[in-house]
Each structure stands twice: as structure tokens, then as C-alpha cells.
Chain A
Amino acid sequence: MSSVLNSDQLVKTIKTRLQANEVEVQDMSGGCGQAFAVIIVSDIFKGKNKLTRHRMVNNALSEEISQIHAFTQKVFTTDEWEEQKRLYGSS
């Protein structure tokens, strides 16, 4: 019963549970699966303020989050993400 999360699993989970169009997951713990930075682009966030959005993510990933030490998230709707890319250039 491994409690180590891997990035690929996380991407799949997020895409499914949050209907995300784009997901970026970075394992910041050097492959240990203990710290993740995620960017989630999904239109389920439309019309919701930051706190509500982050809570949606927290609830969708509650089991995963409880297993890791550090979790940081940035959430965008499709439009907002386009705006980000426009402003900052695509990654």
C-alpha cells in the first residue's frame, strides 16, 4: 500500500475529477512524491472566487493531499489561462 503519489497518476486524477482541459503537475520533492505544484485549467471554476475554487480542488483531491507534505495550486478557467499565456508567453 504505497502512499507515494506520482505525477502521472495525479494528472489523470485531476483531469477526471475536475474536468480539466489542461493540467500541469510538478513534483517539487525531487521524485519523492511528497510535494506537488499543480496548475489546473477547467471551466468548472467559472464564476467562483479563489477560495471556492481552491476548496473544490481540495475536496476533489482530499485523499491525495492528506498523503503529501506540501501542495500548492494555481487554478484557471480556460479564458483566464489563455490570458495568462498571452501575458506571460506559453510554457
Chain B
Amino acid sequence: MGLIEIQSKEKFSDLTSVKDKLIALYFHTPWASPCIQMNKVISTLADSPQNKHIDFLSINADNFPEISDLFDISAVPYFVLVKNGTILKELSGADPKEFASALEQLGGNEQEIETNQADSSVSKEKSSSVFDYVSSATNNQDAAPAAVALEEESPEQLKARLRKLTTAAPIMLFMKGTPSAPQCGFSRQLVAILREHQVRFGFFDILKDDTVRQGLKKFSDWPTYPQLYVGGNFQGGLDIIKESLSENEHFFETALVEANNTN
């Protein structure tokens, strides 16, 4: 059926009062980078013949604050699956697989998941260079795994989001820019070190989300970027990593093992 972009509240009321149909509501904003990726994913899912029994509505949260409030949307991208006026499921964040499987579960139909790169990359073992876990999940170098918050995000919500981010991959690098386009010398150096040691890592570009940029400084109790997390535990910045490596060339492996043992 295709993704329908909501242009008016009346249209929204009309479309959501349809009976006995699974309706997928997709809340987005033009400025949140995970949404840009998700837009493509949602369109693809909406156009897929497998999903023709599902209505896909796209709502720009900035333009329709009342609709967003109705569903208590606190971060984008956000999905609400409704049927007959009842909310069946809500999903926060940019995880195409999670969304697709929720559609499958609730839509009651078999379907292919279009996000091939996400599937194959997540399970494949790559022995050579870096596997940018986070970027592959949304098919783009600049993506982040979790949602970008709208306006009020309570400290608890932010903390929960940071916990999710810092454990998005066994090794998570919070940097300025992306591994392919670092925006700061120290971030560039740390990426180089990770690649040199053939370490698989996920990354988050803190220049893209100021809430995370400031929040993570408090969360980690660390004032600068880049920041490296292993197994959800903060390891330090470039200096510490370099020093740790000079004392123990297997620093990354040791840190991973330690994290697995304590988690």
C-alpha cells in the first residue's frame, strides 16, 4: 500500500479509525539522523506486497505535536502498532529488524526482511578489519542504534538510553565523526588503534546528538571524547587506551574477557 505521510489531523483520525486492520504508526523528525535511515526502511516495508494488509502512516512529530502527545512520543524514531483503537506494541529507536519482526508477529503474515545488510552483518564473523556493527544495522555509516530524544527526556530516560548505547556492542566507541570521517585528531587516532588491533567495534557519532554528547560526559564521569566502552564499562580516552596497550598488547581481549566474566 505504501507509506502514507500524514498531512492533517483529520486524515490521521480517518485512517486510524479503520477497523480490523493492523496500522503501523511511524513517528519521525527530519533532523534526527536515525530517522533518515529508517525512512527508507519503512518505505520499503510499506511497499512490500507481504505487508499489503497493514497500513503504514508516517507522522512528522514536529508538525503534529498533538498526535505525538497522544501517543506520548518521547524520542524518534518511534513506532506504534495499533489495531481497532488499541495499541498492540510500541518500539523506540532505529532497529529495522525489531520493527519488522513486530509487524510479522502482529500482522500474522510471513514476510521477508529487506534489511539484508543488517541480517548478514550482525551474524557473520569477520576476521579482518573493523566490523562497524552499528552502521550496518541501518545501512549507513552515520547511524546510531538508539532513538534521538525529542524535547523533554527525563534524566532517567536519558540514563536508560545511555545504558543501551554503551552496551550496543561489546566494544563501543563514542567519537566525533565516524570511523570513515573522523572529525577530531584524537577520535581518528583511536579508530586507527582499534583497526590496527583488528578489533570489532560499534560507534556513535556524538556530534550528531548533543543530548548524548553532554549526558555521556556525566554518565562516564569523563569530560572529553573519544570515549571507549568495553562490555558496558568505561575504559577511558585515547591516552589511557594507548598506555594500557603499551603495558598489555592484549588489552582489548583482556577487557572483553573481564567484561564477560562480570556480566
Contact = CB atoms under 8 A, between A and B. Distances in A.
Nearest to A59: B221
B236 A50 contact: yes
A72 B221 CA distance: 16
Contact of B222 (A58, A66, A70, A72): A58
A74 interface: yes
A14 B12 CA distance: 61
B87 interface: no
Interface string B224-252: 10000000001111111001100000000
Interface string A61-75: 010011000111110
Given A70-B185, A72-B239, A73-B239, A51 B234 contact: yes
Given A50-B244, A51-B234, A74 B239 contact: yes
Please tell me the size bucket of the interface on A: 10 to 19
B226 to A, nearest CB: 12
B235 A51 contact: yes
Nearest to B235: A51
Contacts of A55: 221-222
A62 B222 CA distance: 10
A79 to B, nearest CB: 16
A58 B236 CA distance: 12
Given A50-B244, A62-B223, A72-B238, 16 more contacts: A50-B236, A50-B240, A50-B243, A51-B236, A51-B240, A54-B236, A54-B237, A54-B240, A55-B221, A58-B222, A65-B223, A65-B224, A66-B223, A70-B185, A70-B186, A74-B243
Nearest to B244: A50
Nearest to B243: A50
Interface residues of B, number: 15
Contacts of A73: 239
Given A65-B223, A65-B224, A54 B185 contact: no
A12 to B, nearest CB: 21
Contacts of A74: 239, 243
A73 B239 CA distance: 7
